[in-house]
């Protein structure tokens, strides 16, 4: 799944376990992994974590690229290792309502709920109005970001545990920008300089817990609807941005039990990666290892009227970034309230 427009030797960065040892690894040709905690990287040394590598990303990138180019006999079979989330972030910033078609579909669905007998012509007008609103938002609006919990992370092949509380557990496949340089108040033109690479996340949401009926004026409650353990499968690894190409030309595809549910280009983003990173830096200080989720395209379970249940299998991929495969299992010992 290597990008077709890359130059040089492909490699990626991840975190792995072999049963007793957790380590940062250099992935070569998506088949072999070099243990960077035990293998000396010429010009860089050894590393205890992926976040440590990202803290000096500019220098370490060149050293890792050199190791990947030269190759090494000190590598292990990727299939023999457990793949963990590629980095342990300090901050996870998540973008909502950031794909044109997805947001317009929501506007139309809401209008239909209020007018079940809506004609095709009326629906077309609602859709045009929604598209005009999105154009206005691009020109004069700003992104909608909120914080997620690192405790929701799980690996790209781990089971997703569906909590007993709530019924409408929904998928949201997203491109993730991984920060490799600290920054504050960074312009959109310089924002991609902060990005080390990209990975994949499936930002699972329990839809029937998003809004608080007891606190209607406050609105969304992302803590209880998004941050259950395993609700953020991330990875399998971080691919350096230089090997990914244009982040606005990637394909996002999610299959549920083999059926395509999401299939969209990142070109449909309302705010591109640079604007999201810039906006995030205007609100918080970004640090190496932070994750910025860029929003989910159309095709969520709420669109299909079909939510996750025990036994479901999600297969998720983004161009050049690998694939996730997660099975859904029920929570044991959970309770409803």
What is the pLDDT of the chain when averaged over all its residues?
93
Query: By percentage, how much of the chain surpasses pLDDT 90?
Result: 77
Tell me if residue 216 falls in helix, strand or coil: coil
Residue 130 has pLDDT above 70, yes or no: yes
Angstrom distance (rounded) from CA 65 to CA 47: 15
For the stretch 182-206, pLDDT in tens is 999 999 999 999 999 999 999 999 9
pLDDT at 163 over 60: yes
According to the model, what pLDDT value does residue 3 have? 37
**Gap between the Cα atoms of 73 and 214, Å rounded:** 60
DSSP 27-82: EETTTEEEETTTS-BTTTB--S-HHHHHHTHHHHHHHHHHHHHH--S--EEGGGSE
Nearest one of 121, 33, 143, 43 to 77, comparing CA atoms: 33
User: Both tokens of residue 269?
Assistant: 């983003």
- Integer Cα distance of 10 and 322 in angstroms: 12
Contact predicate 92/232, CB 8 Å: yes
Instruction: Using the predicted structure, report yes or no on whether residue 336 has a pLDDT greater than 80.
Output: no
What is the DSSP pairing of strand 232-233 with strand 153-154?
A: parallel
* Long-range residue pairs from 15-23, CB within 8 A, at least 24 positions apart, any chain: 15/49, 15/50, 15/83, 15/84, 15/85, 15/86, 15/87, 15/88, 16/81, 16/82, 16/83, 16/84, 17/81, 17/82, 17/84, 18/76, 18/80, 18/81, 18/82, 19/82, 22/84
Query: What pLDDT, in 10s, does the model give residues 274-314?
Result: 999 999 999 999 999 999 999 999 999 988 989 999 999 99
In this prediction the pTM is: 0.92
Torsion angle of alpha carbons 38, 41, 47, 49, nearest 10°? -100
């Amino acid at each position: 799944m290597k990008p077709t427009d890359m130059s040089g030797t492909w490699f990626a960065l991840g975190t792995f376990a072999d049963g007793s040892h957790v380590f940062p690894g250099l992935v070569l040709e998506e088949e072999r992994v070099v243990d960077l905690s035990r293998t000396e990287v010429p010009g860089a040394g050894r590393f205890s974590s992926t976040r440590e590598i990202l803290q000096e990303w500019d220098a370490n990138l060149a050293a890792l690229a050199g190791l990947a180019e030269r190759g090494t006999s000190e590598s292990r079979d990727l299939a023999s290792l457990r793949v963990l989330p590629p980095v342990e972030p300090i901050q996870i910033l998540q973008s909502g309502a950031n794909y044109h078609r997805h947001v317009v579909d929501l506007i139309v669905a809401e209008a239909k709920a209020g007018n079940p007998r809506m004609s095709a012509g009326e629906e077309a007008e609602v859709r045009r109005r929604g598209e005009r609103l999105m154009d206005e938002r691009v020109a004069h609006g700003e992104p909608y970001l909120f914080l997620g919990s690192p405790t929701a992370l799980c690996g790209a092949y781990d089971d997703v545990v569906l909590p007993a509380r709530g019924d409408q557990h929904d998928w949201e496949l997203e491109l993730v920008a991984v920060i490799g340089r600290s920054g504050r108040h960074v312009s959109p033109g310089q924002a991609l300089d902060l990005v080390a690479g990209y990975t994949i996340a499936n930002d699972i949401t329990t839809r029937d817990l998003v809004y608080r009926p007891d606190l209607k004026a406050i609105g969304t409650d992302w803590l209880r609807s998004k941050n259950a353990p395993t609700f953020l499968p991330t990875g399998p690894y971080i691919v350096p941005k230089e090997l990914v190409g244009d982040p606005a030309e990637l394909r996002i595809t999610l299959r549920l039990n083999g059926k395509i549910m999401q299939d969209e280009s990142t070109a449909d983003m309302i705010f591109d990666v640079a604007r999201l990173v810039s906006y995030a830096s205007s609100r918080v200080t970004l640090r190496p290892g932070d994750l910025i989720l860029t929003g989910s395209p159309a095709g969520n379970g709420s669109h299909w009227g079909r939510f996750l249940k025990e036994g479901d299998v999600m297969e998720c991929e983004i161009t050049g970034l690998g694939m996730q495969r997660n099975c859904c299992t029920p929570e044991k010992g959970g309770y409803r309230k």
